């Protein structure tokens, strides 16, 4: 009788399209062959495929080995945040003063207290300043005081990761992070005038820009040809910009400016554009005990913020989120240690053992971060069965449609929500696949190998296999 039922079960699996050799075992053979063609050894690949209601994995390979996940670590940070903070959580930026107002003059300091908002972009900051102008304040006869005490201050090197501090992704977390501490330069060649005009966003006070010379020839490596020279006193482009490039933009991390210098330069210019003036200096500090609230800006809800983190793999926002978890769960000031401890406790509360987990910034922009494919798969399973499942899944790129997966695997477009991860020698995918059968699967695949950049075909083949055979 037992033999009969085993035979029936095996026939059912084969009839359903799943190769019997793949059940609870290693990679499907054609996927393994795709890795081999890319020169990637099986020991360098970690995979887990599991149906969301199943108790064990359908496919697993090196599932318990620690891998560098690159940006897949954002799934840990955002998944934990949705439950620890709640999908409607928002960040607050507040303005205080203890001074008095006479007419349109504020006699005293303006104190702006940061709440870790990862999306205090220049448009939102302008609206925040409009609230102050609406209170009738025009002239500030005092200092601009910046309070960053919500996060633990720490000296960090923006060049530590890859030696290129001007890259936008190397911006450091900051309780009063404004516009990702980025400057965007828009190059507008004017052949008739024989020059290149440069527009800067956001507008900054007392920060001159020396435009590049107008050059001829093809628009090849135009960024390198600019010969950018950044200092705390201004930006210079000592090279040329080909007219054939047309209208293009370059966004850089303003690493040469301190956070106070950058914030102050943007504030002064926007405040002036609104008809205001600031007579004092810009300095660090906190609101005095008798300070009164003048204005408050609330960020978009967490459920919206994690969409940008996961769909477009925003490292800066992910790092802000980890420190926010630390501040809200572990107590202010938020730091990596408190954020990491809160996430570990959350995993333990979901019966997810993660002894191999290494969290250094929560974004995956790290050579030290580690997680096992099985741990990540269990987190995805827990998130699928959580009340915030819809918010979490919708934050992941839709295969073939948007985010970092918009140009991949159009044969299953719209049928999978997959986060990607990419560093030198690291490639990963993780998320959910809705198979043609109607069953939904968690899929995790991470490659740590010198040839990892050649692994896309194999990882796409795995997703295709799960869709067709799952």
Calpha distance 86→417 (Å, rounded):
21
Q: Is the pLDDT at 299 greater than 50, yes or no?
A: yes
Average pLDDT over residues 270-276: 97
Residue 23 pLDDT grade (very low, low, confident, very high; cuts 50, 70, 90): very low
pLDDT > 70 fraction of the chain, expressed in percent and rounded: 95
The SS3 assignment for 25 reads: strand
Domains of the chain: 11-88+302-469 (3.40.710.10), 91-299 (3.50.80.20)
276-297 per-position pLDDT tens digit: 999 999 999 999 999 999 999 9
**Confidence grade of residue 156 (pLDDT, cut at 50, 70, 90):** confident
Let me know if 61 is exposed, middle or buried by CB neighbors in 10 A (0-12, 13-18, 19+): buried
With a cut of 80, say whether residue 158 has pLDDT above it: yes
- Mean pLDDT (the chain, rounded): 93
pLDDT at 25: 62
Per-residue pLDDT tens for 56-85? 999 999 999 999 999 999 999 999 999 999
Task: Please tell me the predicted confidence (pLDDT) of residue 17.
Answer: 37
Residue 18 confidence (pLDDT) above 50: no
- Quote the percentage of the chain above a pLDDT of 90: 93
State residue 155's pLDDT score. 78
Closest C-alpha to 327, from 315, 339, 318, 309: 339
Over residues 93-134, the pLDDT tens digits come to 999 999 999 999 999 999 999 999 999 999 999 999 999 999
Q: Please give the average per-residue pLDDT across 44-55, as a whole number.
A: 97
Check if the beta carbon of residue 117 is closer than 8 Å to that of residue 85. Answer: no
* pLDDT at residue 243 greater than cutoff 50: yes
pLDDT grade, residue 220 (50/70/90)?
very high
The model's pTM is 0.92
Which own/partner pairs from 257-260 qualify as long-range (CB within 8 Å, at least 24 positions apart)?
257/181, 257/232, 258/232, 259/146, 259/148, 259/174, 259/176, 259/177, 259/181, 260/146, 260/284
Query: What is the mean pLDDT of the segment spanning 245-272?
Result: 97
Rounded distance between C-alpha atoms, residue 420 and residue 427, angstroms: 8
Closest CA to 260 of 278, 279, 285: 285
Residue 22 pLDDT greater than 80, yes or no: no
Q: 453 preceded by cis ω (within 30°)? A: no
Residues 356-414 have pLDDT tens digits of 999 999 999 999 999 999 999 999 999 999 999 999 999 999 999 999 999 999 999 99
Structure tokens at 327: 């501040």
pLDDT value at position 76?
98
CA separation, residue 455 to residues 22, 31, 422, 459 (Å): 20, 10, 11, 6
Does the pLDDT at position 335 exceed 90? Answer: yes
Out of 157-166, 294-303, 361-370, least confident range: 157-166
């Amino acid at each position: 009788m037992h033999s009969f039922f085993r035979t029936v079960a095996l026939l059912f699996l084969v009839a359903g399209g799943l190769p019997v050799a793949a059940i609870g075992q290693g990679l499907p053979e054609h996927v393994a062959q795709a890795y081999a063609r890319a020169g990637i050894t099986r020991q360098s690949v970690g995979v887990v495929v599991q149906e969301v209601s199943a108790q064990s994995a359908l496919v697993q390979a090196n599932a318990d080995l620690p891998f560098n996940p690159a940006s897949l670590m954002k799934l840990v940070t955002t998944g934990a945040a949705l439950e620890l903070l709640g999908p409607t959580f928002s960040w607050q930026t507040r303005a205080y003063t203890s001074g008095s107002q006479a007419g349109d003059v504020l006699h005293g300091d303006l104190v702006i207290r940061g709440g870790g908002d990862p999306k205090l972009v220049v448009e939102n900051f302008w609206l925040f300043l409009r609230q102050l102008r609406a209170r009738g304040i025009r002239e500030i006869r005092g200092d601009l005081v910046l309070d960053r005490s919500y996060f633990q201050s720490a000296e960090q090197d923006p060049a530590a990761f890859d030696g290129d501090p001007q890259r936008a992704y190397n911006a450091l977390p900051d309780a009063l992070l404004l516009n990702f501490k980025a400057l965007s330069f828009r190059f507008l060649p004017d052949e008739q005038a024989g020059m290149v005009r440069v527009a800067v966003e956001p507008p900054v006070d007392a920060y001159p820009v020396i435009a590049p010379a107008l050059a001829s020839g093809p628009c090849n490596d135009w960024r390198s040809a600019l010969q950018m020279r950044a200092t705390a006193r201004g930006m210079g482009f000592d090279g040329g910009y080909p007219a054939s490039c047309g209208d293009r933009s370059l966004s850089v991390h303003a690493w040469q400016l301190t956070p106070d210098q950058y914030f102050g330069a943007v504030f002064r210019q926007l405040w002036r554009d609104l008809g205001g003036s600031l007579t004092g200096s810009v300095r660090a500090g906190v609101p005095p005990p008798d300070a009164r609230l003048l204005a408050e800006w609330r960020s978009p809800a967490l459920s919206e913020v994690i969409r940008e983190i996961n769909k477009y793999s925003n490292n800066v926002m992910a790092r802000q989120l980890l420190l926010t978890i630390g501040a809200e769960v572990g107590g202010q000031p938020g730091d990596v240690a408190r954020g990491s401890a809160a996430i570990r406790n959350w995993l333990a509360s979901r019966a997810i053992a993660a002894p191999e987990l290494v969290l250094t910034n929560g974004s995956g922009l790290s050579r030290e971060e580690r997680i096992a494919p099985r741990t990540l798969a269990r987190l995805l399973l827990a998130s699928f069965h959580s009340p915030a499942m819809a918010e979490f899944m919708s934050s992941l790129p839709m295969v073939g449609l948007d985010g970092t997966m918009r140009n991949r695997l159009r044969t299953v477009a719209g049928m999978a929500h997959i986060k990607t991860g990419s560093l030198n020698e690291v490639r990963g995918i993780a998320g959910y696949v809705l198979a043609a059968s109607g069953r939904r699967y968690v899929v995790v695949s991470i490659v740590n190998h010198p040839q990892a950049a050649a692994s896309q075909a194999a990882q796409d083949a795995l997703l295709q296999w799960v869709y067709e055979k799952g």
